[in-house]
Amino acid sequence: MKAVAVKKRKGWFRKEIPFHLMLLPAVIITFIFKYIPFVGITMAFEDYTPLKRLFDQKWVGLDNYKYLFSLPGFGSVIWNTIFIAVMKLVGNLIFPVLVALLLNEIRARHFKKTVQTVLYLPHFISWAALAGIFIDILSPSGGIVNQLLSAVGLKPVFFLGNSAVFPYTMAVTDIWKELGWGTIVYLAAITGIDPTYYEAARMDGAGRFKQVLYVTIPSILPMILLMMVLSVGNVLQAGFEQVFNLYSPQVYSTGDIIDTYVYRIGVIEAKFDLATAVGLFKSGISFVLIIMGYKLADKLAGYKVF
């Protein structure tokens, strides 16, 4: 029996080793660029200067954090991050569900596929490219959006230069970009619903709207809950690439997020110790939120990673 078990184990190993070899380059790259830089976390607790080696720096403990929290603008940076991120999370949860429900009701197959393709396309375009498009579209002078507003008698809006409007512009443009991609999950959940539920609803006299209300939505509710709780860990992820390509000093008061703040003080102002302290603070909060999200996913939706 032992000999048979050893042979089976060897056969399994020979069968699985090509897949492990295929993963090896990704594992090496992840180790080099994700784990080795962990050594630099010590800068968050040092008075760092590039003139000395990393472990020869002056140790200052939590002084960097005390300094950061004493800065008058740091609180607003945290608030901006949470505010923009929460708007994105809520919007990217509600609108994909609505679009998936609407697409599911379309019976013209070719039209449905065309709409899906048009909606999915923006997801694959980088913010570096989209930023130029939105700058032209939302321009206060000549932009198509403001031209439409003027046509209906409204005043032009400086979407990317008005600090009161900028956070909402970030949320709306991000929802537009990710709308099609987010519907994939919910359309897949809808297609997995047992057709007999709809047949039973029709026999009870339910129309299309009531079928959606009492069959479709309750059936995909576990998936909606799962996506919601898994998004909790992204509360501090307001989208560096998007904000960085679209913001300006005019909107720092409401548009500056943790990632852009780290970029400015770390790269532009060369305050590496403070930038590391902010990044570590964000990572710590995100780690706690991710653990909470997975706990909620397990409790509410029965989802487990491990």
Residue 181 lies inside a defined structural domain of this protein:
yes
Number of domains in the chain: 2
Cα–Cα distance measured from residue 14 to residue 137, given in angstroms and rounded to the nearest whole number: 57
Residue 306 lies inside a defined structural domain of this protein:
no
Angle between helices 74-105 and 63-70 (to 10 degrees): 80
Residue 12 lies inside a defined structural domain of this protein:
no
> Cα–Cα distances in Å, from 238 out to 84, 241, 244?
6, 9, 11
Tokens of 191: 């297609």
Are residues 146 and 286 both part of a single domain? yes
Q: Indicate the residue type of 196.
A: T
pLDDT at 95: 93
pLDDT at 170: 92
Are residues 135 and 251 both part of a single domain? yes
Are residues 46 and 176 both part of a single domain? no
Looking up residue 224, the CATH number of its domain turns out to be 1.10.3720.10
Residue 9 lies inside a defined structural domain of this protein:
no
- Sequence-separated (6 or more) residues with CB below 8 Å from residue 60: 45, 46, 47
- Domain final position from 9, 38, 61: 61
Ordered per-residue pLDDT tens for the chain, 306 residues: 555 455 556 666 677 788 888 889 999 999 998 888 888 888 888 888 887 887 788 888 888 888 888 888 888 888 998 899 889 989 988 999 999 998 888 888 888 888 888 888 888 888 989 998 999 998 888 788 888 888 888 888 888 888 899 999 999 999 999 888 888 888 888 888 888 888 888 888 888 888 888 888 888 888 888 788 777 777 777 788 899 899 888 888 888 888 888 888 888 888 888 888 888 888 888 888 878 877 777 777 666 655
Are residues 116 and 39 both part of a single domain? no
pLDDT at 10: 62
Q: Indicate the residue type of 80.
A: N
Are residues 150 and 36 both part of a single domain? no
pLDDT at 302: 67
Are residues 44 and 172 both part of a single domain? no
Other Cβ atoms closer than 10 A to 88:
24
Are residues 44 and 149 both part of a single domain? no
User: Of 126, 159, 153, which Cα lies nearest the Cα of 239?
Assistant: 126
- Rg, the chain, Cα only: 25
Angle, CA 284 vertex, CA 73 and CA 238 arms, to 5°: 55
Cα–Cα distance measured from residue 227 to residue 199, given in angstroms and rounded to the nearest whole number: 28
Long-range contacts of 258-267 (CB under 8 A, 24+ apart): 258/77, 258/78, 258/81, 258/282, 259/81, 261/74, 261/77
pLDDT at 282: 84
User: Of 64, 63, 56, which Cα lies nearest the Cα of 276?
Assistant: 64
Are residues 104 and 157 both part of a single domain? yes
Cα–Cα distance measured from residue 115 to residue 117, given in angstroms and rounded to the nearest whole number: 5
Domain span at residue 53?
Answer: 19-61
Are residues 197 and 93 both part of a single domain? yes
Strand partners, 46: 59
Are residues 52 and 186 both part of a single domain? no
